[in-house]
């Protein structure tokens, strides 16, 4: 089961099809057990590492420029002219992450929606519409040097909306980036790099809470956890490559049709199940 959950996490976290939505529907239709909190956190951490490996040069440059930027603020002789691209990208990611703090105010309500398969199915239909129209946008030429604060706040707002189960984070943020005029390659790159502080922060906070509540790592689960993490990380890496390839060519249409099919089939099955359960015995 850990291998299946790792595969689902790796694929659906990056492909624009909603990992949370798929997990909810798998639990509803196949009785798949929900991963415990710690395992769920570790799976997300594994996909975070996939982003770091794929964008290793960006990540290393951003770390260096983050500290150089801090040093420049307190320097008596601040540098003139435009900052390096990596430092500019750090700034854009920080600004784009800000809308997530608003989501914290409705966190419990959003989590409650995630347990409703009807809502999740409808959200998948919405994801399909977002991808369909995104596929027909020409995109722009904006990159890390030309993107504005307003642009990244709108993309960050899309990321906040995508905390709703069934809405794809990557689908919403990449589509929002294309809508505000990002170059398609930069829209994908920014979308995945913007996920790093949010996932890392959540991982640190939730691991602390979970381990504190459970008194440490449960006995005998380490091999299961490691297997799921490795599969999630490896599959996630190749999923990132696929998204980059398809987004560059404007080929998100296939994912739109998939989300529509998944949402409609789920709604039909839920309706049939409810009909048979409600039907009186003859």
Q: Which of 106, 182, 102 is nearest to 150 (CA)?
A: 182
Confidence (pLDDT) at 214: 58
Domain count, the chain: 1
Half-sphere exposure of 281 (CA within 13 A, CB side): 0
pLDDT surpasses 60 at 166: yes
Measure the CA–CA gap between 199 and 176, rounded to whole angstroms.
20
User: In this predicted model, which residue has the larger pLDDT, 225 or 127?
Assistant: 127
Confidence (pLDDT) at 250: 73
Coil/strand/helix, residue 182: strand
- Tokens coding 141: 């030429």
Read off the pLDDT of each residue in 174-182 and give the average, rounded to a whole number. 95
Q: Which of 99-108, 125-134, 184-193 has the lowest mean pLDDT?
A: 99-108
Measure the CA–CA gap between 48 and 29, rounded to whole angstroms.
28
pLDDT tens-place string over residues 17-38: 998 888 889 888 887 666 677 7
Q: Which of 172, 165, 168, 201 is nearest to 187 (CA)?
A: 172
Read off the pLDDT of each residue in 117-137 and give the average, rounded to a whole number. 94
Q: How far is CA 36 from CA 32, 33, 82, 206, 225, in A?
A: 12, 9, 47, 12, 10
Q: What is the largest CA-CA distance in the chain?
A: 87
Confidence (pLDDT) at 122: 96
- Give residue 185's pLDDT band: very low, low, confident or very high (50, 70, 90): very high
Residue 79 lies in a domain: no
Contact 41, 66 (CB under 8 A): no
- Tokens coding 21: 């939505």
Q: How much is the mean pLDDT over the chain?
A: 87
Exposed e or buried b per residue across 105-140, where buried means at least 16 C-beta atoms within 10 angstroms of its C-beta:
eeeeebeebbeebebbbebbbbbbebbbebbeeebb
pLDDT tens-place string over residues 223-232: 888 999 999 9
pLDDT surpasses 60 at 54: yes
- Tokens coding 232: 């999630």
Confidence (pLDDT) at 216: 60
Measure the CA–CA gap between 245 and 252, rounded to whole angstroms.
10
Give one DSSP letter per residue of 86-150, joined into a string.
HHHHHHHHHHHHTTHHHHGGGHHHHHHHTT-HHHHHHHHHHHHHHHHHHHT-----B-TTT--HH
Contact 19, 164 (CB under 8 A): no
Residue 167 lies in a domain: yes
Contact 233, 43 (CB under 8 A): no
pLDDT tens-place string over residues 245-273: 888 777 888 999 999 999 999 999 999 98
Domain that holds residue 216: 2-74+84-278
Coil/strand/helix, residue 157: helix
Contact 161, 167 (CB under 8 A): yes
Q: Which of 7, 17, 2 is nearest to 169 (CA)?
A: 17
pLDDT surpasses 70 at 280: no
- Give residue 221's pLDDT band: very low, low, confident or very high (50, 70, 90): confident
């Amino acid at each position: 089961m850990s291998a299946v959950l790792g595969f689902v996490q790796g694929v659906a976290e990056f492909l624009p099809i909603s990992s949370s939505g798929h997990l909810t529907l798998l639990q509803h239709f196949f009785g798949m057990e929900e991963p415990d909190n710690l395992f769920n956190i570790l799976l997300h951490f594994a996909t975070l590492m996939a982003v770091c490996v794929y964008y290793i040069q960006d990540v290393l440059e951003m770390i260096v420029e983050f500290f150089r930027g801090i040093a420049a603020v307190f320097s008596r002789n601040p540098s003139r002219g435009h900052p390096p691209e990596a430092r500019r990208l750090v700034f854009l990611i920080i600004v784009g992450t800000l809308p997530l703090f608003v989501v914290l105010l409705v966190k419990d309500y959003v989590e409650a929606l995630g347990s409703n398969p009807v809502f999740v199915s409808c959200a998948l239909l919405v994801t399909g519409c977002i991808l369909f129209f995104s596929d027909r946008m020409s995109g722009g030429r904006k990159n890390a040097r030309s993107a504005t604060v307003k642009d990244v706040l709108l993309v960050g707002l899309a990321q906040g909306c995508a905390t709703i189960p069934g809405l794809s984070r990557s689908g919403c943020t990449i589509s929002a980036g294309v809508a505000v005029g990002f170059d398609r390659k930069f829209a994908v790159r920014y979308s995945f790099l913007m996920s790093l502080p949010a996932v890392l922060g959540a991982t640190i906070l939730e691991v602390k809470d979970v381990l504190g509540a459970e008194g440490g790592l449960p006995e005998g689960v380490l091999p299961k956890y490691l297997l799921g993490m490795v599969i999630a990380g490896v599959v996630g890496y190749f999923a990132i490559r696929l998204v980059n390839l398809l987004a560059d060519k404007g080929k998100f249409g296939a994912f739109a049709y998939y989300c529509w099919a998944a949402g409609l089939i789920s709604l039909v099955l839920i309706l049939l199940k409810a009909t048979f359960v409600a039907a009186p015995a003859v």
